[in-house]
Amino acid sequence: MTMNNYNEKEVILNNGVKMPILGFGVYQIPSEATKQAVLEALKVGYRHIDTAQAYFNEAEVGEAIAESGIPREDIFLTTKIWIDNYGYEKAKASIDESFRKLKADYVDLFLLHQPFSDYYGAYRALEDAYREGKVRAIGVSNFYPDRLSDIVAFTEIKPQVNQVETHPFNQQIEAQENMIKNNVQLESWASFAEGRNNIFTNPVLMDIAKKYNKSTAQVMIRWQVQRGIVCLTKSVRPERMAENFDVMNFELSADDMARIQSLDTKTSLFFSHQDPDTVDFFINLVKERRNK
């Protein structure tokens, strides 16, 4: 992506694949509400949908895409392998299961959801799916700079994308520099920090929003677009989906970008993937699910 053209609607990944810069995420949308939400998002104009095996709504995403009447090739579809399915053989089987649920012949982007357990084995399954033409791009999520540099160094097909928590309170400035160095596209999750720390009414964001006659949500998305970040947001409300999609008609000044940068705490509002307690949390989650 040319950083001078802030209204570019797509970024170009390291393998030449184009990816829409705005995406609609379906995390925490109950499966029974997902089909409707995705249909609304597509109606608003989104052509990039982000789901995951762990969201338990891949099937409903697939139904919405099929029912929308929009040609499949016009939609950029992402899903992710969950830790339970790591290791080469299990990952391979789970990739096919995702295709079945999504009713898809191919997926545009398949990610490793977390940097734990046998993710190298799972990544090799992704590489094979890529070579077979079943996925157009592969990548990782929640890989902090140390893990990202490692997987870039020791894999044949370099990840195209790394999806990490990114919002005004946790901006990933150094992590983004490392991704640029490694030719990996930064994609944001929790672009609104899921509303934590009163982000929608933060005084700095409110002041900037007022100046451009926009909402704080639009300012947060626009700030990511101007940083060249692929930005995911979630809403179940069509009016908010439309608001979140309407960010290509204004430009934040360098001063306002710097004011937003001053909000960075460089700390996760959720959990650090480098904290042993977080690792334990994920390991226990896998164990609990296996015992069910």
Binding to ligand NAP in span 50-69, by CB under 6 A: 50
How far, in Å, CA of 235 to CA of 262, rounded? 27
Q: Which is nearer to ligand NAP, 131 or 196 (CB)?
A: 196
Element (DSSP H or E) covering residue 217: helix 216-226
184, 139 Cβ separation under 8 angstroms? yes
Element (DSSP H or E) covering residue 208: helix 203-212
Tokens encoding 277: 């307690």
191, 219 Cβ separation under 8 angstroms? no
Contacts of 5 (CB under 8 A, 6+ apart): none
Query: Binding of ligand NAP at residue 141 (CB under 6 A)?
Result: yes
Q: How far is the CB of 154 from ligand NAP (least distance, A)?
A: 22
- Candidate segments 98-106, 121-129, 191-199, 247-255, binder of ligand NAP by CB under 6 A: 191-199
Q: How far is the CB of 2 from ligand NAP (least distance, A)?
A: 25
Tokens encoding 98: 């995702």
**21, 83, 151, 190: which one binds ligand NAP (CB under 6 A):** 190
Tell me the C-alpha to C-alpha distance, in Å, between residue 263 and each of 109, 168, 251, 260, 267: 31, 6, 19, 5, 11
Which residue is catalytic, options 6, 46, 55, 86?
A: 55
Q: Which is nearer to ligand NAP, 8 or 194 (CB)?
A: 194
Residues in contact with ligand NAP, counted by CB under 6 A, come to a total of 28
Burial of residue 174 (CB within 10 Å: 0-12, 13-18, 19+) is: exposed
Contacts of 128 (CB under 8 A, 6+ apart): 92
**13, 26, 186, 229: which one binds ligand NAP (CB under 6 A):** 26
Query: Binding of ligand NAP at residue 144 (CB under 6 A)?
Result: no
Query: Binding of ligand NAP at residue 243 (CB under 6 A)?
Result: yes
Tell me, residue by residue from 33 to 52, as one string, x for binding to ligand NAP by CB under 6 A and - for no binding: -----------------x--
Query: Binding of ligand NAP at residue 233 (CB under 6 A)?
Result: yes
Q: How far is the CB of 230 from ligand NAP (least distance, A)?
A: 11
Residue nearest to ligand NAP (CB): 25
- Residue 144 among the catalytic residues: no
Tell me, residue by residue from 193 to 232, as one string, x for binding to ligand NAP by CB under 6 A and - for no binding: xxx----x--------------x-x--------------x
Q: Which is nearer to ligand NAP, 47 or 156 (CB)?
A: 47
Which sign, positive or negative, has the C-alpha torsion 220, 222, 225, 227? Answer: negative
DSSP string, 158-197: --SEEEEE-BTTB--HHHHHHHHHTT-EEEEE-TTGGGGG
Query: Binding of ligand NAP at residue 247 (CB under 6 A)?
Result: no
Active site residues: 55
The binding site for ligand NAP (CB under 6 A) comprises: 25-28, 50, 113, 141-142, 163, 189-195, 200, 215, 217, 232-237, 240, 243-244
